[in-house]
Amino acid sequence: MALPRVWLYHRKVMAKKDTATARQPARDSRESRRLTVAHISDLHAGSPYFVPNLMDRAVVEVNELAPDIVLVTGDLTEMGFKQEYLLAKSYLDRIECPDLLVIPGNHDSRHVGYVHFEELIGPRSCTLSKEGVTIVGIDSTEPDLDHGHIGRARYRWLEEKFAHEARFRIFMLHHHLLPIPGTGRERNVVYDAGDALEVLQHCKVNLVLSGHKHVPYAWRLEDLFVVNAGTACSLRLRGNIKPCYNVITIEDDRVEIVRKHPFHGTEAMIAFSPSTLAYEKSVSLREQEER
């Protein structure tokens, strides 16, 4: 994937600032461990705002990218109906990736839709360890409610899943843990977000991935980077935000996250060092909307 222009700019800036690093001899390429993750969210299959062409294109683009892992953070469906699950699954089944992790969103838990999720998609929580990266995904939904909830009963489970050695830890859930600009009145933030954020800090999680608000955004909070994906293929949009999905590249001590608009270009979101926590957030939401 070609680097977006903003990265090129930032890389030039970083090269000026970090001359000591620039003088170091190049590392043996065998030491480099690059992992690419595609993060798709909020398909809303079955909604009148679902655009099959956009989802079809997103699948084609993801297959061309050939990521190591694909993550889908919920709202596969609009109402949790079986036929909507079958439609969403018909697209997910075309993703050619050995590690596809999917968790439900609030729309998937409507009308007892979690039954279809478990039958057609799989368990509602998931874990994966690959090349030193640990990913834990959790079902943050409550039946027929829109708000998110993790719950004290699952904090110990999270701590156990993140306990073993890892070079990078990712937690994914559907709902947002931090408010997201440009989304109007704040609603549906995870009910126990404060406690959950402390648990995640304690677990040494590096990156939290979520969806739900249909607005891509990135925050840094203490040692955590919290990054939201937009809707990949629906027109349930806020303001001038366009459908998109995120691509995360983890390589040595640098993580880059860009958003990709199906049929269109790639734009930088945030890049950071997991060890120093230095980061560059590329564009504000206001800049996104003005494009």
Other C-beta atoms closer than 10 Å to the C-beta of 220 total 15
Nearest approach, Cβ of residue 105 and Fe ion (Å): 4
Residue nearest to Fe ion (CB): 75
- Six token digits for residue 105: 């969103």
Cβ closest to Fe ion, residue 110 vs residue 161 = 110
* Range in contact with Fe ion (rule: CB under 5 A) among 42-50, 81-89, 115-123, 275-283: 42-50
Nearest approach, Cβ of residue 270 and Fe ion (Å): 22
Task: Kindly state whether residue 42 participates in binding Fe ion, applying the rule CB under 5 A.
Answer: yes
Which residue, among 91, 186, 98, 115, has the nearest Cα to 146 in the 3D structure?
A: 186
Which residue, among 119, 41, 54, 127, has the nearest Cα to 85 in the 3D structure?
A: 119
Nearest approach, Cβ of residue 120 and Fe ion (Å): 19
Nearest approach, Cβ of residue 175 and Fe ion (Å): 7
Task: Name the CA dihedral angle for 195, 156, 100, 104, rounded to a multiple of 10 degrees.
Answer: -60
Note whether 121 and 113 are within 8 A (CB).
Answer: no
Cβ closest to Fe ion, residue 78 vs residue 256 = 78
Nearest approach, Cβ of residue 160 and Fe ion (Å): 27
* Range in contact with Fe ion (rule: CB under 5 A) among 20-28, 41-49, 157-165, 193-201: 41-49
Q: How far apart are CA 282 and CA 285, in angstroms?
A: 10
Task: Kindly state whether residue 230 participates in binding Fe ion, applying the rule CB under 5 A.
Answer: no
Which residue, among 44, 149, 127, has the nearest Cα to 91 in the 3D structure?
A: 44
Nearest approach, Cβ of residue 20 and Fe ion (Å): 45
Task: Kindly state whether residue 106 participates in binding Fe ion, applying the rule CB under 5 A.
Answer: yes
Q: How far apart are CA 107 and CA 212, in angstroms?
A: 9
Which residues lie across from 248 on neighbouring strands?
Answer: 37, 257
Task: Kindly state whether residue 256 participates in binding Fe ion, applying the rule CB under 5 A.
Answer: no
- Judged by DSSP in three states, 269 sits in strand
Task: Kindly state whether residue 105 participates in binding Fe ion, applying the rule CB under 5 A.
Answer: yes
CA distances from 61 to 34, 101, 217, 266 (A): 19, 18, 21, 11
Nearest approach, Cβ of residue 94 and Fe ion (Å): 21
Cβ closest to Fe ion, residue 74 vs residue 274 = 74
Residue selected from 212, 242, 259, 260 as contacting Fe ion according to rule CB under 5 A: 212
> What residue type is 123 in one-letter code?
P
Task: Kindly state whether residue 139 participates in binding Fe ion, applying the rule CB under 5 A.
Answer: no
Task: Kindly state whether residue 148 participates in binding Fe ion, applying the rule CB under 5 A.
Answer: no
Q: Give the footprint of Fe ion on this chain (CB under 5 A).
A: 42, 75, 105-106, 212
